[in-house]
Structure formats: C-alpha cells, structure tokens
Amino acid sequence: MQRGGIRLCLLLITVIAASFILELPKQLAIFSSKHGCADLLNSSITPLPGEYEPQCNETVEKVVERVVEVPVIRIVEKEVEKVVEKEVEKIVEKEVEKIVEKIVEKEVEKIVEKEVEKIVEKVVYSNPPVKVFVYDLPSKFHQDFYSHPDATDTPHAAEWWIYQDIIQDPLARDNSVSVRVHSHEEADVFLVPFLASQSFNCDDETQFMHKNFRDVCGSLYKVDDAFQVELRDWLEQQEPWQASGGIDHVMLAVHPMALMSMLSSFTAQCTNLVVDFGFRFSWEASLEKDVVVPYSHLAERLPDALVETATSEAFFENVDTLLFFAGNLQRAGMGRVRNALQDVLKDEPDVRILSGTKEKSLDSAAVDVTTQAIRRSNFLPGVHCPAGDTPSSARLFDAIVNLCVPVVVSDDLEVPFEDQLDLSDALIFVREADAVQPGHLTALLRAVSNEDLLRKKKALAQVRGSFEYADASTRNDSAPAMIWREVAARLPMMRLGMARRNRGMTRREAATHDRLEPGRRFEDGR
C-alpha cells in the first residue's frame, strides 16, 4: 500500500474518533439523568433526580476533556501504530521483493555460474594435483635475474611467472592442478628453477630488447655458459637426478635458444617447457616429452569491462584496419616469409605494417602504440609468421589477450594446449605458400563476415585466460595451470622411461625395424 492508503486509514480513524467524541455528551446526559452529575465524577453526593440539568455542564465538560485527552488519544495512537506497522511491513516486503528480483536476475546468476564452474572443474580435473619438488638453487639462478623493475618486460618472462606461481604460500594458492612438496619421496616431478631465458638474454646484448639492457642484467651479464656448467655439475650430485637421469625433471627453456650452449644434450631426457623446437634436434625434443608454453604477452590485455563491446556490433564503430602487422621484417630462414608478405601487402589500403628493427626499441610507448593498433584491427597476421629463426612469435599472444583474431602464417608453429582447448574457431591458419600469393590473404579476410568475426572474437574471449600468467594461483584455467596439466599428462611416459632405464634400456625409442642395428634385422639372417 502506498502513502495515500496510509492517509486514508488515518482519516477513517480520525472520523471514528470524532464521532465518538460528538456522541459522548449525549451519552453522558443520559447517564447523568439517571445517576446524577456527581456519579459522573465518582462523587459520594446524592444523585439529582429528574432531567438533565445545566449544572451538570461543567461536570460533563470535565469528563469529555478527560476522555478526549487520554483514552481517545491512546486509541487513535494504537490504531495508527497498528496501521502504520502493517503498511510499513508491506512496503518493506515489497522493497525486499524488488531487491531479491534484482539479485535473482544478476547476482544469483553469477553465483550459480561460479558454482557450476567449480563443479565442472572437479569433474573434469578430478585427478590429484601434480606434486612438484622445487630445487633450492642459489638466488643468482632465478630471483636475481628478475630483480630489476623492467626485467619482466620480455615475452620470455613466462619462466618467471611459472616459477613464482609454484613457490607461493600454499594457503594463498587455490590452484588444484599442482602443489609444491618438500621431500623427494613425495614428488611426481622435480622443477629446476634456472631461469635460462633471461640468462641467455643477458649473455648477448643483441638478443635483449631493452635500451637499459645493462641495468636490467647488472652483474649477471655474460654468465650464461658458466651458470650452465655449474648447474650441470650440481644436478649430477643430486639424488633425484641420479635416480632418473633427469626423466622426471622439468626445465624452464622458454627462449628457443635457452640451455642450448652447454646443456642441450644433458637435458634431453627432461621435460622442457619451450615455445617451439626450431633450434632443437629430434633426439633432444618432442611433442610427446616436452610442453609447448605461451610467451607472456607484452601488449596490455583488453580489460574485462571492454570485452562486451569488443565482441558486439559496437566493435566495428572504431575499427580502421583490416589487418595489422608489427615486428622486425629483416629476418632470415623461416622468417623470410615476412619479407614476402610485406611485398604483397604494402599497397593494400586497409593494411597497416609497423616494422621494427634490430635496434633495441622496446619501451612502454612502443608497446602502447602496438596495443592500440591491435585493438582497432579485425585481424593480426604477419606477426604470426615465423619470427625468423624459429616458428613462434610473441605477437600471437598479444593478439589473443586483446581479442584480435590471429592469422597464423606458419607451417611449423605449435600452438600451446591444443589437446585441452578447441581453437578451431578462434584462430585462422593460412599456409605460407598461399599467404604470399598477391591478393590471396586480404581476399580471404575480407570474405569473413562481421557475424563470423564476432563469433571468433567471442571464442577468443572464452580461451584467452588460458594464455595468461596473471592471477595463476587462483585460476584453474591460467597458463601455469594448463602447463602443469600438460606435465601431468606426461607422467605415465616418465614412469615408463624410468622403468626402462632401471633395466638397462638406454634407447628412448622403441626398437622398430628401421632402428635395429645391422645384422639384427630379419632379412640380415638370410
């Protein structure tokens, strides 16, 4: 009931009270004619006989005054209180209902969604967490490499975030995929926390992308070879290494050339966390043994608040580029495809090419320019061509976290987590030979309708968290969680490898016909 209803009730109560007051003198007169004025005031005076007499007026007035001042006021107050109480209850009830409706429409839906996610995680990821023993190496092998504020401004900083995630206080981690243990006997795998990518970067100034290279590296400049030798000698003395020969050990080798100078053969039995296999040999690396991990993105991720706009028709209001490329065009080997792409794309009106050089030019301004250009583009190809020496490129992950549909022009690229995620509707793959044909790539992309493009962007929004290292300890879909899930999938092969090693089998591959030594093949006995 609204305020008007309350006023109506109060008016009715007032009318009733007024009627009672108006009727009161008449009733008192009748009473006094029968019992006398004195009785009205509970007096001991003998009642007056006869009709109502004027001298009773004063007595009646006093009685009326007494009745009006106390009982009627109390009656009115009580009735008002009852009405107000009931109406306030109704008002409060209705307001609560409105609030509940809002909660049901929005907040409860979110709560239910989160609970469903937890249930799905328990069902899908019901395996026990991977138990990880982290070797206690001196800080010069890990922490010291990233002590400078700018040290993580590199795509190879993925190694740092993986390490930081696993060493966190267990009480602060809500990530059930992996757990740190402190005894050899409990461990499934052994993490060697040598941050080899930064060690490699600091060994060669031409490899580092920072203008303040020497400040970032400090005393760790040109120590990579010495550190690798020191690490090898130390590991050989460790009981877990001696027991398995490194089969159940995990190495951080995010940079394609990390660990290559001294330890490539030594760590061949380990599970190496890599971005690609461009510099490794088949007896050192494989998809079955090693884990392909994402670079850490340099471009700032698209804020969650902007995702809805980026995946709706509103996105097209700010788009000014069909296709955006950023990176060094002067590449050799597999990277020559970049040069060819530039030749066929340079005259296209809606294609933007932002070429880097070998000069160290990575700073916040350059990253911001790239980030904004990525967000105003439908597609981000070119950068996903081979980086030059190897098939991978950090721009792939810059695109993913900004919901810019990646166009992969690399026949040899390995995309992380393809066994866990369906990326078929999120990425576009184009064969190198097709992409360098004049007009082919732009025609292919212009043929993608707005509806299809938005569907791909929404697909990216669903998976981008799996390529991000931020907040890893609280997310079961973070990049570190995905990586440890990949490691867990390799545990059976690790156990098989150790069993074969314990019985003296040194060959990692099965004794297939083509691998048999001369004289041991069937036809050799004839």
Residue among 367, 366, 394 at smallest CA distance from 380: 394
Non-local CB neighbours of 419 within 8 Å, separated by 6+ positions: 486, 489
Query: How far is the CA of 109 from the CAs of 33, 94, 101, 129, 305, in angstroms?
Result: 76, 21, 11, 30, 18
228 plus 345 within the same structural domain: no
Q: Is the pLDDT of residue 379 over 70?
A: no
Cβ-contact 182, 169 below 8 angstroms? no
The span from the CA of 137 to the CA of 146, in Å, is 15
98 plus 229 within the same structural domain: no
Q: Which two tokens stand for residue 476?
A: 């079961």
The average pLDDT across 137-151 equals 93
How high is the pLDDT of residue 359?
A: 47
233 plus 336 within the same structural domain: no
Q: Is the pLDDT of residue 183 over 90?
A: yes
Mean pLDDT, rounded, of the chain: 80
The span from the CA of 21 to the CA of 14, in Å, is 10
Q: Is the pLDDT of residue 141 over 80?
A: yes
Q: Is residue 182 part of a domain?
A: yes
CB atoms within 10 A of CB 201: 26
270 plus 388 within the same structural domain: no
The average pLDDT across 383-411 equals 78
270 plus 326 within the same structural domain: no
Q: Token pair 């060493």 is at which residue?
A: 167
Task: Write down which residue in 227, 260, 292 finishes a domain.
Answer: 292
**DSSP H helical ranges for 103-209:** 108-124, 158-166, 196-203
Q: Is residue 483 part of a domain?
A: no
345 plus 360 within the same structural domain: yes
CATH number at residue 458: 3.40.50.2000
The span from the CA of 255 to the CA of 209, in Å, is 13
Q: Is residue 506 part of a domain?
A: no
278 plus 328 within the same structural domain: no
Task: Write down which residue in 450, 468, 486 finishes a domain.
Answer: 468
How high is the pLDDT of residue 331?
A: 63
Lowest pLDDT segment from 14-28, 324-338, 419-433, 480-494: 14-28
Q: When comparing pLDDT for 35 and 220, which is higher? A: 220
Cβ-contact 358, 330 below 8 angstroms? yes
**Computed from CA positions of residues 515, 518, 519, 525, in that sequence, does the dihedral angle turn out positive or negative?**
positive
Per-residue pLDDT tens over the stretch 476-490 = 899 999 999 999 999
Q: Is residue 353 part of a domain?
A: yes
Whole-prediction pTM: 0.73
285 plus 318 within the same structural domain: no
The span from the CA of 93 to the CA of 100, in Å, is 10
Q: How many domains does the chain have?
A: 3
Q: Is residue 424 part of a domain?
A: yes
Q: Is residue 487 part of a domain?
A: no
Give percent of the chain with pLDDT exceeding 90. 44
163 plus 49 within the same structural domain: no
User: Which domain does 178 fall in, by range?
Assistant: 130-292
C-alpha count within 13 angstroms, C-beta hemisphere, residue 287: 8
Cβ-contact 200, 252 below 8 angstroms? no
The average pLDDT across 333-338 equals 70
Residue among 12, 450, 485 at smallest CA distance from 273: 485
How high is the pLDDT of residue 353?
A: 79
Q: Which two tokens stand for residue 227?
A: 């550190």
The full length of the chain comes to 526
114 plus 134 within the same structural domain: no
Q: When comparing pLDDT for 461 and 522, which is higher? A: 461
Q: Which two tokens stand for residue 312?
A: 């709706």
Q: pLDDT band at residue 45, thresholds of 50, 70 and 90? A: very low
318 plus 201 within the same structural domain: no
The span from the CA of 437 to the CA of 291, in Å, is 34
Q: Is residue 154 part of a domain?
A: yes
Q: Is the pLDDT of residue 41 over 50?
A: no
Q: Is the pLDDT of residue 291 over 70?
A: yes
316 plus 454 within the same structural domain: yes
Q: Is residue 334 part of a domain?
A: yes
Question: Tell me, what amino acid is at 304?
Answer: D
Task: Write down which residue in 468, 491, 518 finishes a domain.
Answer: 468
Strand ranges across the sheet with 405-408? 351-356, 321-328, 377-380, 405-408, 428-429
